[in-house]
């Protein structure tokens, strides 16, 4: 049983079904991939920013390779446009050097350092003193990707149950004989399963709290960090993604492109003073546009006035506060919490989409069915 039909839940469910397990995927919404998986930049990340040996680095670098191979073999639209990470001022060069060091420590392929004149030759509108060029970064049609994962899952005999919130979980002999699940919604069922994978994204800590016998110390607090996006009116002067030096909680207000070449900016970092996902307001405040203009003009001074319009927002599934260092992915198994056959996935924000296939393989190995 897999809980949560976002991109990671779909990838895991497909992996388990293809390994021969009878697999059910529970989704509380009316459709798959409608929450965090539908509200992101759709960027295929390279694995640049993450500390060496972190879970994010461990999954993103091979995940990038696996994802591109999957997209090619399944004919899913994507664009390997690459990206520049830019130091707009000389006082940012030390930060750029630290990013480069992390990329090298993570063995990220297809990386290059470019000077000001080299950057200008490729992106004349860009202002910077130096840049890192990541050629393995791209953009993806994430809905088409998730639809393909769902197709592979169903072709392998998997079943997806919509509007099926998980209400209660009771382990049988500490999970040795599986779990009894009480499922609400239209189904209102009770099902027993040998394995339980909590891949509920933003709601993963809340789902974990429904599992009887799981010590509260193994359930992290959820923090909600909103990322707002603004769309560019008119044609973008850039053919690559443009990223500034990262900021606490995010990667800075960067420029991304969709598959049609239309540009958008974001996400920013807006920590929400809420305690539950149900309190999220996804409306983008137009007044935040002033902050966007200032951030963008640090690397694109030519951004015209009145050229940005509020677009959409998403919320990151964080398990660390704004006062703590950036969090990592958490995959909690029996080794952590003592319940056999239970895997909790916490803190799966970016680069979750890029890492999805690598994460799915790892979950399969944890269950010894990969």
Interval 176-231: pLDDT, tens: 999 999 999 876 889 999 999 999 999 999 999 999 999 999 999 999 999 999 99
* Percent of residues, the chain, with pLDDT higher than 70: 99
pLDDT of residue 252: 83
- CATH number, domain 2-64+142-221+325-366: 3.50.50.60
47 pLDDT higher than 70: yes
Cα–Cα distance for residue pair 267/322, rounded to 1 Å: 16
pLDDT of residue 72: 98
370 pLDDT higher than 60: no
Question: Of 195, 224, 191, 202, whose CA–CA distance to 321 is shortest?
Answer: 224
Cα–Cα distance for residue pair 13/153, rounded to 1 Å: 6
pLDDT of residue 164: 96
Non-local CB neighbours of 31 within 8 Å, separated by 6+ positions: 162
344 pLDDT higher than 90: yes
SS3 333: coil
First CA to last CA across the chain, in angstroms? 16
SS3 102: helix
Non-local CB neighbours of 46 within 8 Å, separated by 6+ positions: 60, 61, 64, 103, 108, 109, 110, 111, 134, 136, 137
User: Could you identify the residue written with the tokens 């990013």?
Assistant: 99
pLDDT of residue 247: 81
> What residue ranges do the domains of the chain occupy?
2-64+142-221+325-366
pLDDT of residue 76: 98
Taking only the tens place, the pLDDT of each residue in 8-23 is 999 999 999 999 999 9
User: Could you identify the residue written with the tokens 């030519």?
Assistant: 302
pLDDT of residue 204: 98
**What mean pLDDT do residues 235-259 have?**
91
Token duo for residue 148: 């393909």
Cα–Cα distance for residue pair 346/3, rounded to 1 Å: 13
* Percent of residues, the chain, with pLDDT higher than 90: 95
**Confidence (pTM):** 0.97
Non-local CB neighbours of 370 within 8 Å, separated by 6+ positions: 15, 19, 361, 362, 364
- Edge-first strand order for the sheet with 342-346 is 159-161, 24-26, 2-3, 196-198, 342-346, 330-332
Question: Of 143, 144, 56, whose CA–CA distance to 108 is shortest?
Answer: 56
- Per the CB < 8 A criterion, the answer to whether 231 and 185 are in contact is no
- Per the CB < 8 A criterion, the answer to whether 295 and 252 are in contact is yes
Question: Of 343, 329, 337, 227, whose CA–CA distance to 285 is shortest?
Answer: 227
Taking only the tens place, the pLDDT of each residue in 215-227 is 999 999 999 999 9
**What mean pLDDT do residues 22-50 have?**
97
């Amino acid at each position: 049983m897999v809980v949560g039909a976002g991109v990671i839940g779909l990838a895991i469910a497909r992996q388990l079904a293809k390994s021969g397990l009878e697999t059910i995927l529970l989704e509380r919404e009316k459709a798959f991939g409608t929450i965090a998986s539908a509200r992101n930049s759709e960027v295929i990340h390279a694995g640049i920013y993450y500390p060496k040996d972190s879970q994010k680095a461990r999954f993103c670098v091979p995940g990038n390779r696996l994802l591109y191979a999957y997209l090619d073999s399944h004919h899913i639209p994507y664009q390997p446009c690459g990206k520049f990470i830019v130091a707009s001022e000389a006082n940012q060069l030390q930060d750029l050097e630290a990013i480069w060091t992390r990329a090298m420590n993570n063995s990220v392929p297809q990386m290059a350092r470019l000077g000001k004149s080299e950057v200008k030759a490729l992106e004349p509108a860009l202002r910077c003193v130096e840049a890192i060029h990541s050629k393995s970064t791209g953009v993806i049609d994430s809905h088409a990707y998730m639809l393909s994962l769902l197709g592979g899952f169903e072709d392998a005999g998997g079943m997806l149950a919509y509007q099926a919130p998980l209400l209660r979980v009771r382990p049988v002999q500490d999970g040795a004989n599986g779990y009894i699940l009480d499922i609400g919604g239209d189904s209102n069922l009770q099902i027993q399963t040998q394995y339980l994978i909590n891949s509920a994204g933003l709601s993963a800590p809340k789902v974990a709290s429904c599992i009887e016998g799981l010590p509260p110390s193994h359930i992290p607090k959820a923090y909600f960090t909103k990322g707002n996006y603004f769309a560019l009116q008119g044609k973008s002067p850039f053919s690559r993604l443009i990223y500034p030096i990262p900021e606490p909680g995010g990667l800075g207000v960067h420029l991304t492109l969709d598959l049609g070449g239309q540009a958008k900016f974001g996400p920013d970092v807006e920590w929400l003073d809420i305690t539950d996902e149900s309190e999220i307001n996804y409306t983008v405040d137009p007044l935040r546009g002033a902050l966007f203009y200032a951030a963008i003009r640090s690397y694109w001074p030519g951004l015209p006035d009145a050229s940005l319009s509020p677009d959409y927002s998403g919320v990151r599934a964080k398990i660390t506060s704004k006062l703590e260092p950036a969090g990592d992915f958490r995959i909690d198994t029996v080794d952590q919490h003592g319940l056999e056959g239970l895997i909790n996935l916490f803190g799966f924000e970016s680069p979750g989409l890029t890492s999805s296939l690598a994460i799915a393989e790892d979950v399969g190995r944890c269950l010894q069915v990969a």
